[in-house]
Amino acid sequence: SVIVVNWNTRDLLVQCLQSLEDTVESMYDVWVVDNASADDSVAVIREQFPQVHVIANSENVGFARANNQALDRCQGRYVLLLNSDTQALAGSLDETIRFMDEHPDAGILGVRLLNPDGTFQASYTVFPTLWREFLILSGLGRWLIRPSFPSYGPQVEAGPRKIVGYMEGAYLMARREAVKQVGGLDERIFMYAEEVDWCYRFHQAGWEVWYLPQAPIIHYGGQSSKKRQKRMEAELYRSRVYFFRKHYGKIAANCLKILIYMMTLVKIFVYGLLRFVTGGRRGRLVTSWRDLRRALTSADSAFKGTVAS
């Protein structure tokens, strides 16, 4: 069963579904969960792909809850969570099914992601730590952790298939048996850390998380979140703090909060200085202080079971 969550990416969604029809030989069914799109996505999909199961939400319930809605209804022995901004290539999905059949200890599998121009796009890394978060927030990670951090690397075209920490969420194939044991995605995570949490729980339950570079797909990347970029940056911080609180404890989560505040202050100062020195030509905008505080407060509230408004 293939599950695609959509929010205002109609044209990319059509391309994604068409690529499945054109390239997949295995038996499969498709579930599209639409998070209250305003671009006629639902009507277009129902007209052009009548065989697709459509769940049309009246509001944006987030990536995790939307996927869980379809997870509860679909019947496939494997479940593929596929981003709407992806394009399947010939043989890729069939190859991942063969791999899962041959490796019964594999709980989740991800693949090699390609940019639209065919260049390599990283898709896996190890689990976050305070040290790695510092490197990422400070920008030092571009030089110090390039080989293993997904935003910058690994800078290899394919490499060997291997067990990894977690896979990026553009293409996640999970074994139904494992999902029944581990559970669905954590709905208190609105976006950006669902796959990290899910893969972590699979590891904790004894399942393997695999990277399979021999089955590439095209990933356009972040098309939904680009539409609300400021809010999404704050949501990223919220999700990371929530993950730390859930799996590493309150002290680690509070340390991450302090780190985020400190690095945000540094960025505000540096970008403000750049804009002053260059007459406004340099220095990008960062998340507002108000948005940042709301996001980090929301992380604590989400852990307790109630999201702050």
Percent of the chain's residues with pLDDT above 90: 60
Cβ of 183: how many Cβ atoms within 10 Å?
13
pLDDT at residue number 59: 96
pLDDT at residue number 13: 98
Residue 207, CA distances (Å) to 18, 85, 126, 210, 266 in order: 32, 28, 16, 10, 40
Let me know if 119 is exposed, middle or buried by CB neighbors in 10 A (0-12, 13-18, 19+). exposed
What's the pLDDT tens digit per position in 124-181? 888 999 998 998 888 777 666 555 555 444 445 556 889 999 998 899 999 999 999 9
Q: Report the predicted TM-score, pTM, of the whole model to 2 decimal places.
A: 0.84
* Between residues 10 and 264, the one the model is more confident about: 10
pLDDT at residue number 155: 45
Residue 215, CA distances (Å) to 23, 96, 220 in order: 12, 7, 17
pLDDT averaged over every residue in the chain:
85
What's the pLDDT tens digit per position in 30-84? 999 999 999 999 999 999 999 999 999 999 998 999 999 999 999 999 999 999 9
* Between residues 259 and 151, the one the model is more confident about: 259
pLDDT > 80? residue 188: yes
